[in-house]
Structure 1
Amino acid sequence: MDIKNKHIVITGGASGLGLELLRQLEADNHISVIARPSAGVDLLRKAYPDVSIYEADLADLDAVETAADALAKTGQPIDMLINNAAVQYTARFTDTNFRYETIRREIDVNFTSVCVLVHLLLPNLMQSPFSMIVNINSGLALAPKADSAIYCATKGALNIFSQSLAYQLEGSNVGVKQVFLPLVDTSMTKGRGSNKLAPQEAATEIIEGLLSPRANIDVGKVKALRLIQRIAPSVATRIMKAA
């Protein structure tokens, strides 16, 4: 798929990896962003006046529906929907600082909102001669870690959803791809981990992968994880458990 003169929708495009994808794609394409109201959105408006912005906290499904409806009603075909936004809470269920209310937010941002957006924007995706749904996933969808159980579960759900959705859309003009990321240096991962991949590098690898026919785009260390899983699954499990 040639990525020029396309209408690309990016969730969470006001910061982190989403913003870097926008920077690398904006010159040759029209970008629409769905992002929660924030100072980053205000800066985005000033820096990229040609970008269309639809404000919605993806944990608020009513707001997601309102934003998607507004985007759909423009009548513009959508060539690519990049479901990038995510949140991660690291407290364990056994920790005293575990917050019950984060469960629903994490599920809605990371998974439910993706399903909602795919459903509501599918008619616009169908209008393009060839379009693509790109779900940004994590290596934790392949093997979970001990922390962030809800996050790992949402990414596992996104993996299965993406595969089933691809089956449903076989023979149509809409393709489905998944991106499996290692730890990327964004605000979400601040203070955690080491040797994190820079967002610029991650975005470049993703865009290169979008040009290939592969359904799965493994970025950075995820390539090694796939190999270890094939050769020694128990080793991969131990590595990721302690991640």
Structure 2
Amino acid sequence: MLLVHGVVRESDAPAVGRVPPGRLQQPRAVVAGPLAAVVSDAPDGDLVGDDAVAHLDLLVALVVTVPVLPLPFGTVAPDEDAVRAEVLEPSADELAQRLAAVADLVELRLDLDFDTDASVAAVSRDDPDIARLAARARVPGASLADRMAVGEAVAARVADLQAELAATWTQELSGVAEQSRELHVDDQVSRTAYLVRRDRLDDADATVARLREAAAGSASVEYVGPMPVYSFLDDVVVGSQPAPRSRWGW
């Protein structure tokens, strides 16, 4: 049984053999015409979290130098003939067009992990409405409703402040990127994916360095990439009509 990790151009197949295997059995390329599938031998037991990490690490190592269409973790085929007959050959034209569409693009991801205490302190210091509510709640005999009103107002203002800061800090990076997409937002963490041209990676790196300086003391910054364009595959235009999604995850 083979794990099928992604698809590259046949001309880029040699790059697969140069990737350190890590947890995977040595990755290799299965070629069919102008395309090649990136495969490795599946482990004997069930797939676990470490296997998912190894799958991603392999694709990230490849996309540094060659275009890659990622497949969902856990995509399997019984053997190399099945990879050719079921994965590559039926969708060869579409795959080739999608690879051409993403050839000059990669994905970057940015996490902003806000320091809640710092946000609350900033709101309490700078917002006069919050200050008035807090003063009312401190009066002897203040009701539970007064105290709850302070908490609700602080939580709402903190959310607004963090959204404002995130928009300000990431404005320059959004200008570098072709597209951006919000992946996750909660009370503390904001995660965004950016679609960036390969020739603008240095610009993106420099922009994030400035963002880190601006966010110091208010939020920590995690910056990951380049990665395959996971978050933007549905936006890749192939021909004049949207292509149907196949059972392989496109």
Same fold judged by TM-score > 0.5? no
Q: Pick the structure with more strand per residue.
A: 2
Higher relative contact order (CA 8 A, sep 6+): 2
Q: TM-score, normalised by structure 1?
A: 0.23
